[in-house]
Structure 1
């Protein structure tokens, strides 16, 4: 379904693609940093 298919009264909770991509990259880096930190703690 594209945005044209949704009725005008119905709002879709969807961030713009650029915000979604930025959020995804931030999450990737946070998870990677946590993995490094936890891995360093476990192996010491």
Structure 2
């Protein structure tokens, strides 16, 4: 029997050991507790990423024109 074939009793084959128990239970936000979100990026940081993307695009275009 290979790893891709189901067992004869119809169950899936064993895929290996289970993840180790860290001892920390998985918790979810309750109704009175608001979920926490990451703050949005500042305008300066957003402008920096847009400028970096545009600069990279210009470099690609200029390089393509230069090397053809």
TM-score (norm 2): 0.42
CA RMSD, Structure 1 to Structure 2 (Å)? 1.8
Structure 2: segments with no counterpart, 5+ residues: 1-33
Structure 1: segments with no counterpart, 5+ residues: 1-7
Runs of 4+ in 1 over 4 A off after TM superposition: none
Cα drift, residue 24 of structure 1:
0.4
- The count of residues paired between Structure 1 and Structure 2 equals 35
Q: Secondary structure of 1:11's match?
A: coil
1:14 correspondence with 2:14: no
Q: Of the two structures, which has the highest relative contact order with CA contacts closer than 8 Å and spacing of 6 or more?
A: 2
Rg (Cα) greater in structure: 2
Q: Residue in 2 aligned with 1:27?
A: 53
